[in-house]
Structure 1
Amino acid sequence: MIDTHVHFWNFDPIKDDWITEDMNAIRKDFSPKNLIRTYSELQITGCVAVQANQSEQENNFLLTLADQNEIIKGIVGWVDLKHKNLDERLKYWSSYKKIKGWRHVLQAENADFILNKDFINGIKSLKKYNYTYDLLCYHDQLPHIIKLVDSVPNQAFVLDHCGKPDVKKQDLKTWAANIKTLAQNPNVFCKLSALLVEADWHNWKEIEIFNCFDVIFEHFGTDRVMYGSDWPVVLLSRPYVDWFNLVNKYASKFSIQEKNNLFLNTGSKFYNLENYDLL
């Protein structure tokens, strides 16, 4: 099994200003060593480290961790997709094989940014190097995301955190309609991750999470969804193992092949991870 979405950082209140004071559980350092025991217990053999800071220094930080820790099988980094010398930067980073794709925190941007011509052209540049692109957005931004992905044919996209539905209020109708539309694009995949953070952190109910899972699997099927933990952010609500067990419980109705797709095959193929034999 692989975990397609984790973060690592040496906490700095200025650099990591998105980690606010009400997030005390994650206002500290997190390294791969913090995951070894949990992964061993759950038989998870690797992860994809995703950028948490929007700088190219983040890429170097994650590459150094990957050199030191075998569990990091791939990296989703950050690069300025609107930069005039983008191709030069992509060519430079392409020599680092652990970098599989890129992400920008689109949830902090408006429609003008998401649909900016230079930004879209930047994403179009990724195909040349076989890079993936992670889509991080809130549910009310999905109409812009749909336009974005439709404007870049043949690019491999993955929607982080199911598009962050309003789990807490269970106001899912518009989100579900947008997920249906987005999933009609065969180049878009989805990460089953982070829904506990979108819920009431300490008082969520299983059915609230499963209602969201129902929508995702109805429209993406079982071959375009990949497991992710969003660790350590998930710790704002529950320990890692609680999230894993929740996903595993939902997947208990799946066939063996469908489970293999969710926990290994889909993520491994999407990110072109080495040393994994598909099941």
Structure 2
Amino acid sequence: MIVDAHHHLWHLGGGYDWLDAPELAPIRRTFGPGDLRAELAAAGVTHTVLVEGGRCDPDEAALLLGHTRDTPEIAGVVAWDDPAAPVFPAYRDLPGAEHLVGLRAQVQAEDAGYLDRADVRAGLRRIGAAGLVFDLVIRADQLPSAARVAAALPDVRFVLDHLGKPRIRAGDLAPWRAAIAALAARPNVAAKLSGLVTEADWEHWKPQDLQPYAEQALDLFGPARLMFGSDWPVCRLAAPYGRVLAVADELITPLTSPAERAQVFGGTAAEIYRLDVGAAGVESPRRDPWH
């Protein structure tokens, strides 16, 4: 079993304005379930978590959850939500809502203290009480506020996307290392080994450029709180799907135990997101997240 804990699907023209940036031309097209399934089959990936793609629109959730009906590889969906809003979007009545495992906001577009706001924290409490994970897509300078909110809300499960987007291209390791350590100290936080190739030099990156960040993540989170994610199709800016998977396998070579490697490539995602993936030895109970 291999679980890709982070990828996207989008329909060009459907509100994904961020794709208008000139440097994103290589991925400025529609990516649908057919494209995804071809990549998964070629790479031997069995299950995935589909994550909102920056549209920041509750209507996107209907599209993403709808994909689960004819794409059995999608075991879970992380939809968009504004945690500062007073109520949940009406996702519980959508077809496929049983696959909703988490919510995410584009916190990376907010100021460094966004997660310290009382209204945001109230929304995060509501998300946790509903049994859902909150994915943290944040900048490296927002890691301290993420550590504070994780400490303040120990009953909320957080997943850090892309290791907090370290500035790999700039070689800015030390500040990130100190900041992520405080977040990793919170037992209610897991992390994704994802998105690193696009934080590096797209044209000239090498696995060695990513290694210090992966080693730090392994040391801090351990295999039980670290999971692989491709960040496809965004990763295509720097590497194809198969290359991202192969490099992730190389980055976790310090793990010599097959069980620990299996944890990163499937077990952690199944447990944290409570995916119904039928993995032997993995407890992943399905439950209605709204009760």
In the alignment, what sits opposite 1:38? 39
Q: Per-residue displacement from partner, 1:160-188 (whole Å, max 9, x unpaired)?
A: 00000011111110100111111110000
Query: 1-side partners of 2:96 and 2:249: how far apart?
Result: 36
192-201 or 39-48, which deviates more: 39-48
Structure 2 Cα separation of the partners of residues 139 and 82 of structure 1: 22
1:236 partner amino acid: L
Q: Which residue of 2 aligns with 1:199?
A: 200
The TM-score normalised by the length of structure 2 is 0.90
Which moved further from structure 2: 259-268 or 110-119? 110-119
Matches within 5 A, 1:204-223: 204-223=205-224
Aligned counterpart for 2:267 among listed residues 265, 268, 272: 265
Q: Distance in 2 between matches of 1:66 and 1:205?
A: 35
How do 1:111-126 residues align onto structure 2 when only pairs under 5 Å count? 111-126=112-127
What residue in structure 1 maps to residue 150 of structure 2?
149
1:1-279 map, 5 Å:
1-12=2-13, 15-19=15-19, 20-52=21-53, 53-86=55-88, 89=90, 96-254=97-255, 255-279=257-281
Letter matched to residue 16 of structure 2? D
Which letter does structure 2 place at the counterpart of 1:256?
A: P
SS at match of 1:186: coil
Q: CA RMSD in A?
A: 1.8
- Indicate the SS of the match to 2:48: strand
> How far, CA to CA, are the matches of 2:249 and 2:93 in structure 1?
39
Shift of residue 92, structure 1, vs aligned partner = 5.1
TM-score scaled by structure 1?
Answer: 0.94
For 2:118 and 2:206, locate their aligned partners in 1 and report how far apart those are by CA, in whole Å: 42
Residue 194 of structure 2 contacts residue 230 of structure 2 at CA under 8 Å; is this kept in 1? Answer: yes
User: Aligned partners of 1:237, 1:273: CA distance in 2, in Å?
Assistant: 29
Deviation at 1:189, TM superposition (A): 0.2
Shift of 1:96: 1.5
CA distance in 2, matches of 1:121, 1:55: 20
Distance 1:63 1:32, change over 3 A: same
Instruction: State the 1:91 CA deviation.
Output: 5.7
Give 5+ residue unaligned stretches, structure 2. 282-291
Q: CA deviation at 1:32?
A: 1.9
Alpha-carbon distance in structure 2 between the residues aligned to 1:278 and 1:259? 15
Once the two structures are TM-superposed, the CA of residue 253 in structure 1 deviates from its matched residue by 4.0
Q: 1:94 to 1:104 in 2, by over 3 A?
A: farther
Cα distance in 2, alignment partners of residues 49 and 168 from structure 1? 27
What is the rounded CA distance, in whole Å, between the counterparts of 2:61 and 2:69 in structure 1? Answer: 12
| Contact 1:90-1:129 at 8 Å conserved across structures | no
Structure 1 residues 47 and 247 mapped into 2: Cα distance closer, same or farther (>3 Å)? Answer: same
Query: 2: CA distance between counterparts of 1:106 and 1:44?
Result: 29
Q: Is the 8 A contact 1:264 1:278 kept in 2?
A: no
C-alpha separation in 1, matches of 2:111 and 2:93: 29
Structure 2 counterpart of 1:18, which letter? W
Please state whether the residue corresponding to 2:197 is helix, strand or coil.
helix
Kindly provide the amino acid, as one letter, of the partner of residue 72 in structure 2: E
3-state DSSP of counterpart to 2:29: coil
- Find the residue that maps to 2:78 and give its secondary structure: strand
- Paired residues in the alignment total 277
User: Secondary structure at the residue paired with 2:67?
Assistant: helix
Judge conservation of contact 2:166–2:173 (CA < 8 Å) in 1: yes
Q: What SS does structure 1 have at the residue aligned with 2:26?
A: helix
C-alpha separation in 2, matches of 1:137 and 1:236: 20
Counterpart of 2:73, as a letter, is I
Give the letter for the 1:61 counterpart.
Answer: L
Percent identity, please. 30
Please tell me whether the aligned partners of residues 93 and 99 of structure 1 are also in contact (alpha carbons under 8 angstroms). no
